[in-house]
Structure formats: structure tokens, C-alpha cells
Structure 1
Amino acid sequence: MPAFPVQDIQHYINGQFIDGISRKTFVNLNPFNNQAINNVAEGFKEDIDQAVASAKEAFDNGPWRSMKVEERLAYLVRIADLIEEHAEEISFLESLDTGLPISQTKKQAARGAENFRFYAEMVKSRLIGESYQVDDTFINYTIHKPIGVAGLITPWNAPFMLETWKIAPALATGNTCVLKPAEWSPLTANKLAHIFDQSGLPKGVLNIVHGFGETAGASLVAHPDVQLISFTGETTTGAQIIKNGADTMKRFSMELGGKSPAIIFEDADLEKALDSVIWGIYSFNGERCTANSRLFVQESIIEKFVQRLKQRVHSIKVGNPMDPGTEIGPLIHRNHFDNVSRYLDIAKDEGADIVSGSIPDEFKEGNFIAPTLLLNCTNDMTVAQEEIFGPVMAVIPFKTEEEVLRMANDVKYGLAAYVWTNDMRRGHRFAQAVDSGMVWVNSQNVRDLRIPFGGSKYSGVGREGGHYSFEFYTETQVIHVAIGEHHIPKFGVEKQNAVSSAEQ
């Protein structure tokens, strides 16, 4: 793949690329070698205020909210076309910025374009109201109205896909947006700003402010003119966002952390289960909220299954993310590398056996963690309870269905789960008993854009995806209309007549 030029990044506010008001910038680092890629404008409260004012003006007085639906959705289709035109560059920038293998980022541009096309169609087919007639006297009906300014805060893992996944339904339903991308992965957000600009999107409809969560992100959350916040990221940050935005009565959608179990029963198709759990934890460098980071294997097959796991782990290719053959690249940032390394030290202290692949010497400057298995784990270990967010999987044996269900649910998270069995009665029974927002039975993590996405417990609040996004991005209004004769109670009439008689 050819290299594409990378320039310094500005904010995108009211249809213009501008420096931050403070003129401060921060350095964006390449996770492959920790060398500087470019400089990025650092946003603060003043920049957020400017972006929100632009979005509010576009919503209150611009054409976006009142535009004919077909005209508005035509912009989404145009944006999808432009994403596809620039797919190769988007893939390059995503790998350069995040360390994700190029073979995996190639799919991100396609997913981004699909998000816009999907919501262009979904608004036409599913953004509909209901009517409730009361005999021949009343008819009540509902409509969906855009809410206003949507604050969108996105993470650094798969940033392009997740940015488009939030922006598409927000715009399709008539809202305007302020996006605060993750500071560790600004490149594809900036490319997206150029795509929006090229599409001719009306000024102020989409604004992007770069910066850090503690400053730019916190200012977006606290702003009184931002009606909703959609956040994807770490659970502790999500809880803080809800606290910081509570005074302004915002609505929140929170897609947070996970410690998802994969359960392998002895009657499962072991070859497919093996492929699934390897892909589920080691693709995306293990930086995936739905990763099966806890693997429960029935005791009767665990020895054979672990042997196969070891073989596969040692065969995974670690390397330059720009190499099409690379399967695991570097972690996003040195700080995250240090955190994952800390968990490996904890695993050793807790008595787990550590089996890992190797990192070639030429990649020592990067943030590489080899694909790792933690064997002889118990479910109460720190490494089985806390989200590591790297290519690390804890393997835990179990005897019975009741035992593994108890362990699967004995964690504060509840995002995803994976069940492997050829007994479909057990598959359904177990899936419905697991505390998680999503369960895959005899399948890897495959996404259908029509389904709701989200988790339970500490893994999130609310659901987005499909028509479920409309519940978050629109206000449902009820309109009551009298269509026939009906009785209206008279109130205070007798008192008024009595006063009139006394005056006479």
C-alpha cells in the first residue's frame, strides 16, 4: 500500500479548519516506533463553546432540521460515496495511527460507508410514528423529532468505524453534532472532517474538536446546550461523564468495558471454537470491548484444547502493521503498553502460567505485547476480573453447566458472551441465563447493524444500533387531536353564575 501524506491537524468548526483558540498543540505518536507523526490542535473549553455554538445555530436556524428528509439523506449517501473513494487512504491512516494491522483496517472504511448508507435507509423505513384512535372522538399519534446538539465522544480502538457509527444516526435523524475524537487516534477523524467538507454538508452541522478528555471532553459533557452524550470507552471514564453531565439533564448512551466469557462445552465443534476464540481475543491487537478475554473450557477437553491454543498462539504473526501478513501490531500508546504489561506481572504474582508468542528484535521500539495465554487461572484472579484490553486471554477450567454459569456471571461487566455447544437446548438455556447484553452461540463476533448494541451492569447504559438508535437520537412527541364531539368538563361555572346573581 502506498504511503499517504500526513499534515498537522486543526479543528473543524462551522465548516472551517481552524487552529485552537489557545494555539496549543500536542504530538501524535506512531505506536510502531513511538516517533512523531504530526501535531494536533489541542482543544479547550473555549473551542468546545465555539463548536457547540456553531452546532446550535445550525440546528436552530440552519436548514438541516427543516430540510426534506430525502434531501438530508442524500448527504449521507454522498458521504458514504466519498468514504469509499478514499478507502485506501483511510485504511493507511488508521493503521499508522493505531497500530492495527492493515489487513484489518481495510474493512473499517467499508464499515464506515455502510453505517451512512444503512441509516439513510433506516430513517426512510423505520423512523415512523404510531397512531391510537379513541372511537370517533380522538386520534393520538406520535412523531420523532431531532433533539438538538449531540455530543459524541469516541475511543481509539477502531476509531473510524465507531465515529461513523455515532455520526450517521445522529445526522440522519436531523441533529447536529460535536465530535471529540480520542486524542491517541486523530488521523481518521481529521480525514472524516475533510470528507464532510467535500460533501457540501451545511456549515455547523458537524464539528470536530481535538483534545484531551479532561479538558475538551469534560467541557463538551458539561455544556448546557448539548442535549445528549454518546460515549464509547472505559467504564470509569463513563461513570465520571454521567456525573459531570447530570446537572444539565442530558440523556446518555454509554458503551463501556467488558470482560466477556467464551464457554466451550465438551460437545462443541472444537475446530470452529478454536478459530473463534483466537480471532476474538487477538484480532484488533486485543483492543476490543467484546473480546473473549475469559475462556472457560470443560475439564474433559481442556488439555487437548489448550495444546491447540498454544500452537496457534506461537504461530500468530507479530509485526509491522503496514505488512499485509501481520496479524498483531503494536498497542496504541506507550501508556497502554505499560498498563497491559502491569497486568502480566499481576498474573505472574497470582500464580498463573504465562504462555506467549515472541516479538522480533527489530520491533522493540514499538508498543508490542505478544499474544498471551494465562493458564491455570481461577475466576477470582485480578486478571480474570479486570479489563486488560490487550492480546491476553485467561483460561479457566469448569466441570458443570451450573458452575460455569456462576463463574461467567461473577464479574462486574456484562457486555458480550460466547457459547459453544452442539446441544442447542443448552445453548439457548445458557445464553438466556448469562448476564450480558449480547450472546453469540456457535459463532464468532459478527455484527448485524439492525440489532441493538450494548451491555448490562458496568458495561453500559442504553442501546444503539438499528432502529434502537432512534430512541436515543430523537424525541418522541405525542399529539392528541379531537376529531368528533366530546364532553369537556366545566370547571368553576356554578361559582361564576352565583357571583353574577349577587351583583344584580
Structure 2
Amino acid sequence: MPDLNTPTTWQHFIGGSPVEPASGEYFDSTDPATRRTLYRAARGTAPDVDRAVTAARKAFEDPRWRDLSQTRRGHLLRRLGELLAENADELAPMESRDNGKLLREMRGQLAALPEYYHYYAGLADKIHGATVPASDLRVLNYTVREPVGVVGAITPWNSPLTLTTSKLAPALCTGNTVVIKPSEYTSATGLRLAELALEAGFPPGVVNVVTGFGVEAGAALVDHPGLAKISFTGSTATGSRIAASAASRFIGSTLELGGKSPQLVFEDADVGNAAMGVVAGVFAAAGQTCIAGSRVLAHRSVYEELLERVCERARTIRIGDPLDEATELGPLAFEAQRDKVAGYVDLGRSEGARVLTGGASSDGGLGGYFYEPTVLVDVDNSMRVVREEIFGPVVAVMPFDTEEEAVRLANETEYGLAAGVWTSNLARAHRVAGRLDAGTVWVNTYRAMSPMSPRQGFKSSGVGIEHGTESVNEYTRLKSVWINTAEEPVADPFTMRS
């Protein structure tokens, strides 16, 4: 177990072993709450990526993995989930210190994370094809689902273990091998996860990690000819470039991208619950989540009450050390992100928005990259602070008069990742959920998640599905097999047979 109180050095993890970077170079990762150096990580470049993809391809073809039964793959996934649970006390503070996420939230994630591996463990031997009826009864036609090969997984800094798991678990469940490129801001837990996978019994090379920067290691992984699939979570702009690279080589891509998710609060909603939903949707995790409910649309009859409740809670949110159990808002993950959030709030002011509470940077008493919970009003859909993803604790609130107007305003965005609806009217709940352009719609709750529930972004929020049984199709290819059981020769070789 690494000691995060003493800066250490992490190597790449390739072929089941730590591997020094080809360049011999390293970079520092800092604690965003204190700006102190946590560790040094290998600075990956194209040669490191090539070595990792080669190791993954070798493992994919190795009988120890290739010929492992689906049930046995499930056993390994279950063991990996158990190891995550056993090492939760190490992993939770490791990630909390790396990206500033609250320790109590990370403990909750670590308690839930093994269930993802257990879910895919149970799913592993439920993946099968079908027997397809043929017009000629002497012909047997069946389908099988096969692993695609080497999967490249590029993960962000806001929830490294959870978002890596969303890719790793289904990829392993279906028999692929994986090369992970974690964010340069949060490398440690991805490397530790790879070590635990080896400990769980996955053969060397099945799970590999190359650390480094996006323009160096990330770009090299995306463009590597040995990949059969790319899975990426991050910005829409980067996702667009990755999709183009994958399409040029005719390989698959699963992309979970940006969001500017609306929360609709109707006149018949429980305003107290809705206010807590708004707080949870945008101030939890310091707003650093793709599903942040950063646009709030409130019926004019409850608009003022909702604002008062949200602002009152925002002003009392305790900012500070994410390792302190009493802290409610930790730092932004790095300085540039804090500056980006501050820049957006300044932009909002120049666009005519009014700051009701917050609107300033803070060091949290620790010298770190904190930003106050911020509520913006006097906004509309023409403003950049309403259209663009801020990825911080900033919410824009605007009124509406009719259900039709609320749905129109909610859908006036390039994104379609998530949405929230607050109402006591069951008919309205179903009606509005059906009309919102969002892959996930929560009613009278927000940020609920399960490995069993599929997740897909609409519009510029992504392509493909994560979680649920549907996700296995993202990591398999479908093969159709035709068997002629007739013994007599073909009567006419120049006609198509069925």
C-alpha cells in the first residue's frame, strides 16, 4: 500500500509488471486541496503505448485468457470486486487526495463499486447468440458474440475508479484485453486497480495502464492500429476527434461526453425536496460531474421559494479539507479548472447574469483550488454560462410559465446526457420524461445510478451505452455461422442458398 504522505513514484503497468517510461521522464501529481506533491508518475509516449497494446494483444491470444470459459471470467471479475472492497480504506483516500472528491463520497463509491464487478461477473456466462430459422431445414444458422480484441480506455479525473470500471468491467466480461490511459491528474487509483486485477487472477497483459498526457499518451493510444475499440469519457470536443479517428479505421467507439443537464421544477413539486435535488445535482462533487444539473427551470409560482431555499443551503455549505468528514464541498481538481470556473462566472456577469450567492475563488483555508457554490439568475439560453459546460459548482436558474415552455427551454441545448423532473403529477412525470432529449431522466431524485441501468448520451453528449446488459454489445462483435447438414451435392451452384 503506497504512503500518500510521502511522494512516491509510479511506473506504467504493462504485461503484469511496473515498466519505466521509454523517455525516462515523469510528472508530478498534486493534492488540489493543499497543492502539495502527492507522487510522480511515468510520462507515457508512443513507445510506451505500443508496448502496452502489444502486451494486450499477446494476452488476448494467450490460451490462458482466450480459452478461459465465460464462467471462469465471471469468477475473476467477482474476485476483483472483492479485492476492491478489501482495499477500500486505501483507495478512498487515495482518490480523494488525488482529485479533491470528498472522502465520505469516495467511501460510498467504494462500497458500491464492487457491485459493478459482481454484476458483470454474473452476466459473463449469460452472453450468447441465437439459433436463426432458415428456410431450408437442412441448414443450421446460429450467431455467436465474440470479444473484439484490444480495447483502449481513456478516463477522466473526476471519478477515476468509477468511470474506469464502467469500461473495464464489461470489456473483461466479454473477453477483451484493455489498455487504460487515466487522466494525468489522477493516475494512482488506475494503476492500483491494475495491480488488483493481477492479484485477482487475470493473466498478465489483460489489464495495462499507461500514464501521461492526452496529447502524448492519449493521442498515441487513440491512433494505435492495434486497437479494436476505443472507450472514452471526457469533453465533447475531444470525443469528436476520437470518433473521427476510430471511424477512419472502422473500429468501434463508445463516448460519454459533456452535459448541460436541466432540472425542471413544476408548480406541484415539493419545493423543499426539489431544492435539495438542485443542491445535490450541481454542488455535490463540486459540480465536477458530466451529469451536473447545472440548468434549473422553475415554474414562476415556485421560482422565488426555490431560489431562497437553494441559496440558503449554498451559503451554508462547508468548504474545506475533503478528508474531513464534516466537509461538504472540496476543491476543484486542479488550478486550471478552478480558473475556468471563475472565468465562466465573470463571463456570466458580463453577459448580464446576476450572482445571488458565491461567485468567488477560495483557498479553503488550505491553499487549494476551491470555488464557492454559486447561483446565477437573470439568465437565458442565449448566454454561454447557460449553453456551455462549466464543470464546477455553478447553477443557472430561470423561470418558466408553461409545461410546453419548460420542455422547449430544457431541450434548447446541444447536449442530451441527463435531466431531472420535480412534480407530484404522475401523468406529467411520464409525459415530460418522454419529451426530454436526455439519455437519463430522473423524477423526484437526481444522481441515482446502478450497474444494471443502461446509460446513453443523446446529441453531443455521446455515442454508445455504458452499464446494463446492453453494454456487452459495445465490446463484442456478432458472427453468423451457417452449417449445411445435407449430404447430397448442391443442385445449382449459381443460385443463392438459404
Equivalents in 2 of 1:431, 1:412: separation in Å? 18
Q: Give per-residue Cα distances to partners, 1:479-500, cap 9 Å, x unaligned.
A: 122345899452479xxxxxxx
- For 1:130, the equivalent position in structure 2 comes to 130
SS in 2 for 1:74: helix
Q: 1:170 to 1:269 in 2, by over 3 A?
A: same
- For 1:161, the equivalent position in structure 2 comes to 162
Q: 1:294 to 1:237 in 2, by over 3 A?
A: same
Give the greater-gyration-radius structure (CA). 1
Quick check: 1:383 aligned with 2:404?
A: no
Quick check: 1:107 aligned with 2:130?
A: no
Conservation of the 8 A alpha-carbon contact between 1:4 and 1:89 = no
Q: Which amino acid aligns with 1:351?
A: G
Q: Give per-residue Cα distances to partners, 1:321-356, cap 9 Å, x unaligned.
A: 110111110000101111111001011111111133
Equivalents in 1 of 2:228, 2:362: separation in Å? 49
- For 1:428, the equivalent position in structure 2 comes to 430
Question: Runs of 5+ in structure 2 lacking a partner?
Answer: none
- For 2:247, the equivalent position in structure 1 comes to 246
SS in 1 for 2:10: coil
- For 2:400, the equivalent position in structure 1 comes to 398
- For 1:465, the equivalent position in structure 2 comes to 467
Q: 1:491 to 1:142 in 2, by over 3 A?
A: closer
SS in 1 for 2:9: coil
Quick check: 1:180 aligned with 2:181?
A: yes
Equivalents in 2 of 1:361, 1:218: separation in Å? 34
| Mapping of residues 192-341 of structure 1, within 5 Å | 192-341=193-342
Q: Give per-residue Cα distances to partners, 1:378-424, cap 9 Å, x unaligned.
A: 12111000000001000011011111111111111010011111222
Q: What's the TM-score, normalizing by structure 1?
A: 0.94
Q: CA deviation at 1:194?
A: 2.2
Conservation of the 8 A alpha-carbon contact between 1:137 and 1:485 = no
Conservation of the 8 A alpha-carbon contact between 1:100 and 1:321 = yes
Equivalents in 1 of 2:400, 2:263: separation in Å? 12
User: Once structures 1 and 2 are overlaid, which stretch shifts more, 478-487 or 466-475?
Assistant: 478-487
Conservation of the 8 A alpha-carbon contact between 1:32 and 1:363 = no
User: Once structures 1 and 2 are overlaid, which stretch shifts more, 346-355 or 389-398?
Assistant: 346-355
Q: Which amino acid aligns with 1:375?
A: V
Q: 1:352 to 1:190 in 2, by over 3 A?
A: same
SS in 1 for 2:341: helix
Conservation of the 8 A alpha-carbon contact between 2:33 and 2:366 = no
- For 1:367, the equivalent position in structure 2 comes to 369
Q: What's the TM-score, normalizing by structure 2?
A: 0.95
Q: Name which of 430, 450, 456 aligns with 1:454.
A: 456
Equivalents in 2 of 1:68, 1:192: separation in Å? 23
- For 2:478, the equivalent position in structure 1 comes to 476
Aligned residue-pair number: 491
Equivalents in 2 of 1:84, 1:185: separation in Å? 20
Q: 1:390 to 1:132 in 2, by over 3 A?
A: same
Q: 1:231 to 1:361 in 2, by over 3 A?
A: closer
Conservation of the 8 A alpha-carbon contact between 2:271 and 2:305 = no
Conservation of the 8 A alpha-carbon contact between 2:293 and 2:419 = yes
Q: Which amino acid aligns with 1:201?
A: F
Q: Which amino acid aligns with 1:490?
A: D
Q: CA deviation at 1:435?
A: 0.9
Quick check: 1:147 aligned with 2:148?
A: yes
User: Once structures 1 and 2 are overlaid, which stretch shifts more, 105-114 or 484-493?
Assistant: 484-493
| Mapping of residues 9-158 of structure 1, within 5 Å | 9-125=10-126, 127-134=127-134, 136-158=137-159
Q: Give per-residue Cα distances to partners, 1:50-86, cap 9 Å, x unaligned.
A: 0000000111234212112222222111111111111
Q: CA deviation at 1:39?
A: 0.8
SS in 2 for 1:64: helix
Conservation of the 8 A alpha-carbon contact between 1:115 and 1:164 = yes
Conservation of the 8 A alpha-carbon contact between 1:3 and 1:92 = no
User: Once structures 1 and 2 are overlaid, which stretch shifts more, 370-379 or 390-399?
Assistant: 370-379
Q: Which amino acid aligns with 2:436?
A: V
Q: Which amino acid aligns with 1:73?
A: G
